[in-house]
Amino acid sequence: MRDFNFFSPYMTVEKASKGKERMIAAVVCTIAAVVISFSISNITKVKKLENEIAQLESFMTAPATTKKLKELNNKKEKIIVMEKYHQGIKQLNEQIEGTNPIDSLLLEQIALSFPQDIFIDMMSISQNDVQLRGVSRSHTAIAELVYNLKQLDVFKSVHVYMMNAESAESENQIYMLKCILK
């Protein structure tokens, strides 16, 4: 004959709850293992980063690095100063170019104005005038030079302020011209 167990419904519930407890324990252990592994990996990453920071700090505080950094800063300061000088010189150059009537074109025009048989010994150029001194083989060559210089439309006036014989034996004439710029 069979025995009646009045507690059997309670016993199956215990078995089912034990399975749930095991399942919950397994899930909690898995979550704990995942959290612990992430924590450990994060801690190792932080330690690696701290080591790299320490190495970089030791590199930055090394005497050779500080010396190179000072040199670099000095060069940067020099570059800044040079750029300021460059700007100042550039502005000054623009002002000079704007106000200076004497340039290579003027010198070329003067050179092309010289007829044959006339030579130049000295040329003096200032802000307002050009003075020429030289030797000519005739008076007409000096007159041609004066005429050619007046035709340039660069000079206000062209004057011969000295013309003498070079020597008693020579036919050459020494001349001095003063050309006032416009």
Does the pLDDT value for residue 17 go beyond 80?
no
Alpha helices in the chain (DSSP H): 8-60, 63-99, 104-113, 139-150
pLDDT of residue 154: 85
pLDDT of residue 101: 56
* Residue % of the chain over a pLDDT of 90: 42
- Measured over the CA atoms of residue 48, residue 53, residue 56 and residue 62, the dihedral's sign is negative
Does the pLDDT value for residue 103 go beyond 80?
no
Residue 159 CA to residue 150 CA, distance in Å, equals 10
For residues 151 and 124, the answer to whether their CB atoms sit within 8 Å is: no
Instruction: State the average pLDDT over residues 107-120.
Output: 88
> For the whole prediction, is pTM greater than 0.75?
no
Instruction: State the average pLDDT over residues 140-149.
Output: 91
For residues 144 and 158, the answer to whether their CB atoms sit within 8 Å is: no
C-alpha atoms less than 13 angstroms from C-alpha of 142 in its C-beta half-sphere: 22
Place of tokens 């059997």: 8
Does the pLDDT value for residue 172 go beyond 80?
yes
In this structure, which amino acid lies at residue 70? K
What confidence category does residue 100 fall into, taking pLDDT thresholds of 50, 70 and 90?
low
pLDDT of residue 12: 56
Does the pLDDT value for residue 72 go beyond 80?
yes
pLDDT of residue 8: 65
CATH architecture designation of domain 104-181:
2-Layer Sandwich (3.30)
Q: Considering only residues 80 and 10, tell me which one the structure prediction assigns the higher pLDDT.
A: 80
In this structure, which amino acid lies at residue 93? N
Provide the residue ranges of all domains of the chain, joining segments of one domain with +.
Answer: 104-181
Q: Considering only residues 12 and 4, tell me which one the structure prediction assigns the higher pLDDT.
A: 4
What confidence category does residue 10 fall into, taking pLDDT thresholds of 50, 70 and 90?
low
